[in-house]
Structure 1
């Protein structure tokens, strides 16, 4: 199997689109963030889907960064690293949500509820230990990384600027969940999903157009050198 830069770029673009689509899909009729929900099969399936979404997002933003790293500079590097770290932490959270929390609902429902309250941006009533650190890292990486990375993409003028702006605004808006009711949790996720889809499509088109331009100008350049 021949692995090429073009193939990796297309794969990253597809990963970003799939990540955004999954992120939107899992918000539809999402069960309440409560211990009673965590013991259902629907919860496990959604949490697994979110873990896949986070992994695909890392692949997608990696392709975006590598496509334009010279234009984004240090801001792009910082944004990419923080954003990727946030998604990796999110991946860990969703694996725990799918594999660990359901088994604790019968014996430690209070702990499960506190974890879910914290995950939704609220203040837990009790001590949830290391999970608080993981959730905090995930939230910080998602919000700060999304803002920095979105600004860097917007300034680079390589991918769709509307999608880059939506990514920055959508991730920052998530910080408002600390003071907003849980009902706002789902709608605030949709703009980021749309942004990832837009950036993925833009990455695919940008690479295809650049490849076509290289094919058109390549022979002329060679002839001029001769």
Structure 2
């Protein structure tokens, strides 16, 4: 007499979201964000009024917006992967860093979609926005954009530093990349006193850190209950 088949464990479809798959997706997002962050710095044109209406400006601004969105997804995956290990420092660092990237995303959307349209009708305003973006002073007021720039900068370097330190202390992801993230984001503070030529090179360490952390997150996936096959129970037939 053959054994009666019991309840079978249904194999999940390839595209069904699981903790492991979402975490790996976050790792890939962070790595791509890091590559984009480095890529947009190569041969970057001068930040002046004449470049705002060019195709190069539109492409780079769109790439920066995509980078910010992917980085936001990436650091969210990193934080959720080690909530307990990073503690309150990790939470504060993540909250600030995520806010910085969210504001950066909004800035790049404005840069790609709004500034080109204003370059001819309000050139003074566009020039002031570009000046403030590089730590300069606006000749006239630029409204809420001034606050957005300030909050984005604070969230980026303060959040990046705290988040990098929290990841380093947690010992879950690559520690060298976590240390580089903390150092790379804090280094941007020096741009206030350094020439504009340092702006592009100082972005590279953060990009490399995101790539390293993203790859580490993608590779470091502990087995979970939902991802581990369940052995057949005694007395039940194993489907062939």
Above 0.5 in TM-score? Answer: yes
Distance 2:183 2:128 in 1: 28
Superposition deviation, residue 178 in structure 1: 1.3
**Is residue 2:42 matched to residue 1:28?**
yes
Structure 2 matches for 1:11-26, cutoff 5 A? 11-26=25-40
Superposition deviation, residue 175 in structure 1: 1.1
**Is residue 2:212 matched to residue 1:198?**
yes
Tell me how large the CA RMSD over aligned residues is. Answer: 1.8
Structure 2 matches for 1:179-218, cutoff 5 A? 179-207=193-221, 210-211=222-223
**Is residue 2:113 matched to residue 1:99?**
yes
**Counterpart in 2 of 1:130?**
144
Indicate the SS of the match to 2:50.
helix
**Counterpart in 2 of 1:37?**
51
Q: 1:122·1:177 contact (CA, 8 Å) conserved in 2? A: no
Distance 1:9 1:197 in 2: 15
**Is residue 2:160 matched to residue 1:175?**
no
Superposition deviation, residue 111 in structure 1: 1.5
Query: In structure 1, which of residues 81, 84, 89 is the aligned counterpart of residue 95 of structure 2?
Result: 81
Larger radius of gyration: 2
Distance 2:169 2:136 in 1: 34
Q: 1:33·1:113 contact (CA, 8 Å) conserved in 2? A: no
Distance 1:108 1:30 in 2: 24
Distance 1:50 1:125 in 2: 26
**Is residue 2:171 matched to residue 1:157?**
yes
Moved over 6 A (4+): none
Distance 2:162 2:144 in 1: 27
**Is residue 2:122 matched to residue 1:108?**
yes
Superposition deviation, residue 204 in structure 1: 1.2
Structure 1 gaps of 5+ residues are: 220-226
Superposition deviation, residue 126 in structure 1: 2.4
Indicate the SS of the match to 1:96.
helix
Distance 2:144 2:73 in 1: 27
**Counterpart in 1 of 2:12?**
none
**Counterpart in 2 of 1:222?**
none
1:128-173 per-residue CA deviation (whole Å, 9 max, x = no partner) reads 1111011111111101100110010011011111100110111111
Distance 1:171 1:121 in 2: 16
Superposition deviation, residue 81 in structure 1: 0.6
Distance 1:155 1:184 in 2: 30
